[in-house]
Structure 1
Amino acid sequence: MSSANTKVLKVAIVGAGPGGLAAAILLSRLPFVELSVFEQARELREVGAGISINQNTWRLLQVLGAADALEEFGKRGDQSVDPNTPARSRIERYKLQQALLSRVSPDLIQLRKRLRKIDDSDDDTFLEFEDDSTAGPFHLVVGADGLRSAVRQHAFPDHKIAYTGKVAYRVLIPQEKVAHIPNIPPGSCFWHTPSTHVYTNPLDNGLFEIATRATESEEDGNKVSWGQVVPKSQVVKHYQEYCDTIRAVIDAPDEWLEFAMFGGPKLETVISGGRIVLIGDASHRSGAAFAFEDAFTLSSALEYTWNRRLSVAKALEIFDSVRGPHYEKLFAVLDAMAANAKAAAISAKDDSNHRVEQTVSKNWKANETAWIFEHNVWKDWVTLNDLKELNLNAGDPEAVEGSREAFAPPAVSIAA
C-alpha cells in the first residue's frame, strides 16, 4: 500500500509505554495521520519506582503537553556539589505515565493485543495478534514495544539479546518505615561500592524510593526484564558491606521488584523495509528521554516528507540520519563507563573507597556527560541542510508546544 498518493497515512504503534505514548501524542496532532495503538497488557500500569527528569526530558514533556501535570509532583533539590551538573528532578513512574495518558484519546489504545506476526510481504502491511485478530493495512508500523520487542524480532531476526549479569532492585515504601534510621539524607543520594550502588530518595506523598544495582548470576533465579516480586532476602545479601544506615534501609521493605538487565549489540539501523521503525527501548535501551526524542524526530520527519509528497521510506531515512549519530555518541560514553566499572572491579591494589571514587569520577565528569542530559533534539533537526526551513507546526495551530520557543532552555530550574 503506497503512501505517495493517499490522503491519509495509516500508522500503527505497537506498545504504549512512555515512547509509544509520546509517539501517539505527537502523531495524533498530524491531520493526515490515522493512528492505532496496540498494547499487550491487560491494563496500562507502570512498574518500578522513580524516574529522573533531566533538562532534555523536561523540554520534550513541554512539547508533549504533559509538563504542567507533573510540575506539582516533582521532587527537586536546589544544590549540587558540582555547579556544572545538569539540572533534573525526580518523579514517580506512574505519574509520568498518567500525565502522558491524559494527552492521548482513550479510544486510540487497544489493550490485550500481543503481537504475533507482521505480514509485510506484499504492498500492504498487516498485524496479527495472539488472540487471532488482525489489524491493517498500515503504511507504517512503529515498534515501541520495549526491550523484548516483537517488532524488532520481525525486522531484525538475527538480533539477539541476553542477560548481562546485572540486576536492578526497586521499591517504594512509606517514609515511616525508614524514619527511625539515623543519617538518611533529606534529598536524593547515591551510595557506592566498586560493583554495586544504592540510590535513596524521599518522594512526595510520604513515599521513600530505593533503587539498587548488583551483579547476579543467571543461576540465582529465572531472570526476566520486567518487575518481578522477590523477597528481601534476595536483595540484602548484596549490600552487607555497606554502612549501618544503608543496611537498615535495604532491610526495611518486605519485598522488592527485580529487573534483570538484558542487552544486545547496537543496531546499525532502526528502520526496515521502508515501513517499520523502532523507537525507545525497542531500538536502544536508553530511557524515556531518548524515547521522547525518537518520537519527536519521527513525527517531524513524517510531517516534513508528507508536505513535500515524499514517501514514508524517505521519512524513515531522515529519522535514522538524525538519531543514528546521536546514539553512536551516546554508546561510546556508555561503553567507556562499562570499561571503567570493569577495571575498578578487578583492581586489587587499590582500596574500595579509592576504586569507587575513581569509577564515579571517570564516569560522571560533568564536561563529558552533561551533553546527554542537556541535549536539544531540535538542534539535531535543523542542522540537516535540507531541513533548515522546516515549519513543524504547519496546519496544526493547536500544537503550540512544538514551536521553536518550546525548545529554548526551560524557564523552570529542575535541579536534582
Structure 2
Amino acid sequence: MPHAIREQTMGIGPQQVVIVGGGIGGLATALALLRRGDSVRIFEQAPELKEIGAGLTISPNATRALISLGLGDAVAAIGSVPDESVTYHWESGDVIRRRSMGDHYLREYGGHYYHMHRADLHAALLAEVRKLAPDAVHTDHVATGVEQDETSATVRFTNGARATGDLVIGADGVRSITYATLFGATPPTFTNRVAWRAVVPAAAVADLGLAKMGSIPGPERTASWYNLRGGELINLVFMSRWDAWVDEDWRARATIDDVREAFVGWCPLTRELIERLPADGILRWGLFDRPPYEHWSQGHIAFVGDAVHPMLPYMGQGAAMAIEDAVILARLFDAEASQADALARYGEVRRPRTDWIQMASRQRADFWEKTDPRAQLGTAMADAHLAIYPYDAATAPLTAGASRPPIADDISSAVALSSGA
C-alpha cells in the first residue's frame, strides 16, 4: 500500500554518499544531497568531466525541479524558450499545426519549456556542485562493480581504488555497471530506428525561415529542430526506421548520404535541412528499448536516471526524469526516519511516473509516423506529453498516485503499465 505523507518531517542525518557517474543525473543528485547536508563524492569514468552531445529539452516539470535545486537563474541564462511549436506535413511542407508556447507554458504549467545545449546544463550543474564541495569530483575512475554489508556499500574501480559510503548511487547510465552487478544486465531490444543529430550555426539555415521549434512527422520518419544558445545554434534531429542493426552508441559518426537516403520523397524543407547538415558533424544513435525496471534500490545502493529507467527519446523526458529522481530522493531522506525507509519508498513513488513515460515514449513514434499525421492531431495521445508537465517534484505528495500523469482512459490503455504492452 502507498505510504501516506508524513505530517511532520523527521529526516535522517548527514550521509556519506558515493555517486557513480558524473552526467546530468549524477550531478543533479549530488546537488540535491549536498543541499540537505550530505557529504558527496562523485566518480566519473571519463578522464575529464564534461558533457558532449547536442540539444536537450527541459520541459516545465524539469524546469521547476532545477529551480528547486537553486539553478533557476542559470537555466534562464542558458535556455532558449520557443514561442511556438510548428508542425509541417511531410509531403507538401504545409503547416498543419501551430501550438503557442513561451509565456503560455509558464502560466499553464508554472515553468518555462527550454531548449539548451546538453553541455551548458552539465556545466551549470557542475559549477553549483563545486561551489558546495570543491573536491567532490573524481575523474578517470571506471567502476567494475559494487558490494555491500549491513552498514555500507563499496564501489570498485579498474585503477584499484575503492570508495565506501553509507549510500552508493548508480548514475552510470543505460549500461549501468552498478545495476548489472546487483540484478544482471538487461538486454536491450533494437527498435529498428535510428536518430541522426547535429548542431549547426543559425546562419546556415537562416534563409529557410524556420520556426524556433518545428517538426515534420511522416511515414516511419520524423525531422525536427529547435534553437540553442539564444538562437545562435540550431539542433537538427532526423529519426527513421532502419532495418540494418546498429549499436547503441549515440556518438557514432554518420554521413549525409545516410540521411538523404532515409528521406527520399519528402518535402523540400526536409531536403533543405538535410543539405545543411555538417559533413563531419553528424552523430548517429541506434535506438534501443528496455522494459521498465523493477528494482530501484537494494540495501545501501540506489539508482537514478538511465541506470534505472532508460527510455526512448520520443517524449523528451530522459534528463527530466533523472533530475526529478534527484529531488525526490533528497526529499525522502528528509521525510523518513531511516535510509532503509526512504529507499523503500523511492521506487514506490517514482515508478508509476517513469514506467508510464517509458511506455508512452515507446508508443509515440508509432503513433506519429503515419502516412498522414493530420489524422492524429486533436487526439488525446497526440498531446499526452502535456499531462507530464504539471508535476512538481519539489512539492508533490510523496505517494505513488501523485506521480503518475493524470491521463485519459484511452491513453492509459494505449500505454498500459505492463512490460508486455
Contact 1:340 1:362 (8 Å CA) reproduced:
no
Contact 1:228 1:258 (8 Å CA) reproduced:
yes
2:144 is the alignment partner of 1:116: yes
Contact 2:30 2:40 (8 Å CA) reproduced:
yes
Match of 1:26 among 32, 52, 56: 32
- Structure 1 position 75, deviation (Å): 1.9
- What residue number does 1:358 align with? 375
2:224 is the alignment partner of 1:199: yes
TM-score, length-normalised on structure 2?
0.78
Q: Partner of 1:262: helix, strand, or coil?
A: strand
Tell me the distance in 2 between the aligned counterparts of 1:176 and 1:370.
Answer: 32
Tell me the distance in 2 between the aligned counterparts of 1:12 and 1:218.
Answer: 40
- Structure 1 position 101, deviation (Å): 1.1
- What residue number does 2:155 align with? 127
Task: Please list the CA deviations of residues 186-209 of structure 1 after superposition, one character each: whole Å capped at 9, or x if unmatched.
Answer: 321001112111112343362222
Tell me the distance in 2 between the aligned counterparts of 1:384 and 1:238.
Answer: 42
Q: Partner of 2:40: helix, strand, or coil?
A: strand
- What residue number does 2:3 align with? none
Q: Partner of 1:154: helix, strand, or coil?
A: helix
Unaligned runs of 5+ in 2: 1-11, 86-97, 106-111, 311-316, 402-421
Percent identity between matched residues is 27
Contact 1:280 1:287 (8 Å CA) reproduced:
yes
1:94-173 aligned within 5 A? 94-105=119-130, 106-120=134-148, 123-136=151-164, 138-157=165-184, 159-173=186-200
2:398 is the alignment partner of 1:374: no
Change in CA separation of 1:158 and 1:89 when aligned onto 2, cut-off 3 Å: closer
Tell me the distance in 2 between the aligned counterparts of 1:264 and 1:270.
Answer: 15
- What residue number does 1:208 align with? 234
Q: Partner of 2:53: helix, strand, or coil?
A: coil
2:334 is the alignment partner of 1:318: no
Unaligned runs of 5+ in 1: 1-5, 346-351, 386-416
- What residue number does 1:238 align with? 262
Q: Partner of 1:373: helix, strand, or coil?
A: coil
- Structure 1 position 259, deviation (Å): 1.6
2:78 is the alignment partner of 1:53: no
Match of 1:293 among 311, 317, 324: 324
2:39 is the alignment partner of 1:11: no
Tell me the distance in 2 between the aligned counterparts of 1:254 and 1:361.
Answer: 38
TM-score, length-normalised on structure 1?
0.78
- Structure 1 position 65, deviation (Å): 1.6
Tell me the distance in 2 between the aligned counterparts of 1:133 and 1:335.
Answer: 39
1:60-79 aligned within 5 A? 60-79=65-84
Tell me the distance in 2 between the aligned counterparts of 1:198 and 1:96.
Answer: 24
Tell me the distance in 1 between the aligned counterparts of 2:152 and 2:122.
Answer: 32
Tell me the distance in 2 between the aligned counterparts of 1:364 and 1:76.
Answer: 24
* Equivalent pairs, count: 358
Task: Please list the CA deviations of residues 325-357 of structure 1 after superposition, one character each: whole Å capped at 9, or x if unmatched.
Answer: 22233345335435535xx66xxxxxx2x2x22
- What residue number does 2:116 align with? 91
Tell me the distance in 1 between the aligned counterparts of 2:168 and 2:141.
Answer: 14
- Root mean square deviation, CA, Å: 2.6
- What residue number does 2:201 align with? 174
Tell me the distance in 1 between the aligned counterparts of 2:308 and 2:178.
Answer: 10
Change in CA separation of 1:169 and 1:190 when aligned onto 2, cut-off 3 Å: same
Change in CA separation of 1:235 and 1:47 when aligned onto 2, cut-off 3 Å: farther
